[in-house]
Amino acid sequence: MTRSVLSVVGARPNFMKLAPLARCFAARPDVRHTTVHTGQHYDAGMSAAFFGDLAIPPPDHDLGVGSASHAQQTAAIMQRIEPVLVATRPDLVLVYGDVNSTVAAALVAAKLGLRVGHVEAGLRSGDWGMPEEINRVVTDRLSDLLFTPSRDADENLRAEGVPAERIHFVGNVMIDSLVHALPAARSRQALTRWGLKGRPYAVVTLHRPSNVDDPATLGGLFEALETLGRELPVVFPVHPRTRARLVALGLCPSAGGGLRLLDPVGYLDMLGLVEAAALVITDSGGLQEETTFLGVPCLTVRPNTERPVTCTRGTNRLVTPARDVLLAAARDALEARTRGAAEIERWDGTTAERIAGVVLDGAEFR
């Protein structure tokens, strides 16, 4: 019997979670896998570049929603995905991560009586001021199959009353992409191109509203990065949201020095940059995990994380978004030079196979 699975993605961090599953399903004759791209992210550097780097086939449906307020964007995705789901009625709708596309698709699918699977279920920051936390909680509540990346996620779901049989501890699908892509990332010589080969340097990404929307917070963080840039090269691929805020503050292009503001970087170049970095400073979820796996010191500029295992087991440390705190933490981390990859259960490059096993063969992973 051939099963139909439809994956819904929309924003940059979704694409590296889709890639290993798309590959896995393509290798199995008993499943017809189709994809919907909501268009939440649409710039070539935020979307097409990732489909290329990750060798994901073009989406079967492109909803083209674009940017808008949360309500408008979520509503547009719901309106445009409903006819696709009504026409195709897949056996399972897979949603990924915690972006607006995730919760919008899950809500429409659940109301149509379709089964929903959530990849990267159970993560909780406990911070209801974070739009992603709302998306995570609602998506998990709507999902029939909850694929968790870590044991803490299982505990969170059990504490919320999710029946144990819905929870599958499959591991971290982002790490599947990383393991698969590392040889290609290394062969691209990104470091030579950027003149960083053999030198210590830091990589920065910042895009959370809590860090970039308030001019005083963003200004303070930027000052810290400019100061750090006088001590070593600081490479900062800038998210469009952050770039708009920096331009409004007159901080972009930057004064120069060692702080280099780049356009968003593709998946393979970013992986190459991160693997050889002396330090990563970020507010991204995925980078906390990637640095933990690669053993690269990471400072996460947030008061909390939904990925606690990266702090308890990995190289990640939370820092307050304030100039002096960030600068001191960065200098400490650079001086300590503590590297070391953490082995985390089921972060082993085979998570997609486990998910396919649950979906297609009725396997169980507890």
Q: Which of the following is catalytic: 33, 41, 118, 207?
A: 207
CB closer to ligand UD1 out of 42 and 365 = 42
3-state secondary structure 320-341: CCCHHHHHHHHHHHHHHCCCCC
Tell me, yes or no, if 70 is annotated catalytic: no
Closest distance to ligand UD1 from the beta carbon of 100 (Å):
4
Segment near ligand UD1 (CB under 6 A); pick from 97-105, 154-162, 165-173, 329-337: 97-105
Between 84 and 103, name the residue whose CB sits nearer to ligand UD1.
Answer: 103
Is residue 269 classed as helix, strand or coil in its secondary structure?
Answer: helix
DSSP string, 270-312: HHHHHHT-SEEEE--HHHHHHHHHHT--EEE-SS--S-THHHH
User: What letter does residue 128 receive in the DSSP assignment?
Assistant: T
Q: Exposed, middle or buried: residue 121 (CB in 10 Å: 0-12, 13-18, 19+)? A: buried
Q: Which two tokens stand for residue 139?
A: 């998506």
132 vs 154 by CB, closer to ligand UD1 = 132
Q: Between 4 and 304, whose beta carbon lies closer to ligand UD1?
A: 304
The nearest distance, CB 46 to ligand UD1, in angstroms, is 4
The footprint of ligand UD1 on residues 227-256 (CB under 6 A) is: 239-241, 244
CB of 191 to ligand UD1, least distance (A): 24
State the binding string over 31-50 for ligand UD1 (x if CB under 6 A, else -): ---------xxxx--x----
Alpha carbon 52 to chain centroid, angstroms: 17
289 binds ligand UD1 (CB under 6 A): no
> 175-195 as b/e, with b when 16 or more CB fall inside 10 Å?
bbbbbbbbeebeeeebbeebe
What is the nearest approach in angstroms of ligand UD1 to the Cβ of residue 221? Answer: 16
Binds ligand UD1 by CB under 6 A, chosen from 24, 63, 99, 181: 99
Computed over its alpha carbons, how large is the radius of gyration of the chain?
20
Q: Would you please indicate which residues are annotated as catalytic (active-site) residues?
A: 207
Binding positions for ligand UD1, rule: CB under 6 A: 11-13, 40-43, 46, 67, 98-100, 131-132, 207, 239-241, 244
